[in-house]
Structure 1
């Protein structure tokens, strides 16, 4: 079996180290971050509890013209459809103003949900380990330290089997063009590679957000899946619009991952949107 890269991403006590920092934001993206920081309070006022960056920009790996701005926003109450429309409008405005980014994505939740027992090892972990504070009180102060164990694996990505039918619906409803399919290929590629990584994360005993390294780590434990995982990692950064790629994800790589994940870690606890048939970001 190929040897996986040496584990890392943990602090001296074996907890996942928080990644990202405002100090790591590349100079080209600092005006973008400043615009988001200034405008979010204008949108939400006193209802804004806190805001965070995540992804390549606070990790310092963003590429001008190719990377997007990823924001995570916590409100003091539960967000409404009007709130979601407002952050989409804000994202579109910032994206149109700054050519150095390729889109803005914003996750929006209420404070109580983020600190709930149900989300402690999913959204709570995401905030505490993968998000960089931008505004307000840091919710990480109310959350535990996290280890790369089976509980974390199950509660972060143990819902792939429930996602696959929705993915098939999204594919069927997507316009039949290369341009329309590329964002879907990018999204599904990233999700599958991250799911593959967290499948083996407890055995590797480390953390990384690098898609290519994630694919290599999983491929070392599952050599027969190494090639499609490497391809998916590439498409996560440089997506194609090939319908066969999407078909392979929902007919082959996705079902295998979902079955193996359930066998190894079990199934993630359902969320309200799962029971209601809503789409979780």
Structure 2
């Protein structure tokens, strides 16, 4: 009797990370939102727009009506300016107000040169090639390599946590004391730490997933003494609470430990040119 096939774990038969998401997986209820965002990206950036992408739960087909946000990437023909970021923010606010099906719109802005640069090949390049679904323009994944879940990818995607923690402390100190003000920070930092914990062990697990709960369980298999912390972070990544104590635990305990262990196992992310942070 033949042995059962090993689980794919997000990899193709050759062991490369498969691209997540597709337009076919976008739930019908979110398709008008996606169409509106696509049209407005083209309207506000015009010929300066090289390409645009969806990522996150909407193209993966796991978005929840009224709870999930819409995640976009706009790649410009030149480096984005502060005015471009203001434009993207205003676009997101307008789409969010028009469509109650979503809870917020976030747009990442990059230049084509940065996405295809040697420095970003295993970070933003990997993100576009494996995590993003083409929405407008040519697909830059055609100019990028295939990716395996190895230590190089782990280091270049999340090997900068130690550098980020001081900024996180500043954001926590500057945040208002209301639950509404703290909840977005809890969601952002929870998700970031879960993904960092997962990529710490990703090469040993030899696979890829974007499900926060699965990420936490995979991590717990290798670091059981920290597993419950990451499981709780996964839950607050999906259902954030406006609790400053949660944030303090991230920057005073889990985050520093994770940064040190990451540097020990994979090393530190290579430096980027000024302005690319």
Q: With the length of structure 1 as denominator, give the TM-score of the two structures.
A: 0.95
CA distance in 2, matches of 1:244, 1:41: 42
CA distance in 2, matches of 1:35, 1:41: 10
TM-superposed deviation, 1:271: 2.0
RMSD over aligned CA atoms reads 1.2
Please give the per-residue CA displacement for 1:91-131, whole angstroms capped at 9, x wherever unaligned: 00000000000000000010001100000000000000000
| 3-state SS of paired residue (1:272) | coil
Aligned to 1:206: 207
Aligned to 2:60: 59
Aligned to 2:270: 269
CA distance in 2, matches of 1:40, 1:161: 34
Q: How does 1:1-281 map to 2 (within 5 A)?
A: 8-273=9-274, 280=277
CA, structure 1 residues 161+196, in 2 after alignment: closer, same or farther (shift >3 Å)? Answer: same
CA distance in 2, matches of 1:226, 1:85: 39
| 3-state SS of paired residue (1:113) | helix
Structure 1 stretches of 4+ with a deviation exceeding 6 A read none
Contact 1:75/1:109 (CA < 8 Å) preserved in 2?
yes
Contact 1:7/1:205 (CA < 8 Å) preserved in 2?
no
CA distance in 2, matches of 1:237, 1:270: 31
TM-superposed deviation, 1:241: 1.0
| 3-state SS of paired residue (1:96) | helix
TM-superposed deviation, 1:7: 5.9
Q: Which has the higher contact order (CA 8 A, sep 6+)?
A: 1
Please give the per-residue CA displacement for 1:16-40, whole angstroms capped at 9, x wherever unaligned: 0000000100011000000011111
Contact 1:178/1:242 (CA < 8 Å) preserved in 2?
yes
Contact 1:7/1:204 (CA < 8 Å) preserved in 2?
no
TM-superposed deviation, 1:272: 3.1
| 3-state SS of paired residue (1:135) | strand
CA distance in 2, matches of 1:98, 1:215: 32
Unmatched 5+ stretches in structure 1: none
Equivalent residues, number: 272
TM-superposed deviation, 1:176: 1.1
CA distance in 1, matches of 2:198, 2:142: 27
CA distance in 1, matches of 2:222, 2:20: 25
Q: Relative to structure 2, which stretch is displaced further, 237-246 or 122-131?
A: 237-246
Contact 1:77/1:110 (CA < 8 Å) preserved in 2?
yes
Aligned to 2:3: none
TM-superposed deviation, 1:6: 5.4
Unmatched 5+ stretches in structure 2: 1-5
Q: With the length of structure 2 as denominator, give the TM-score of the two structures.
A: 0.96
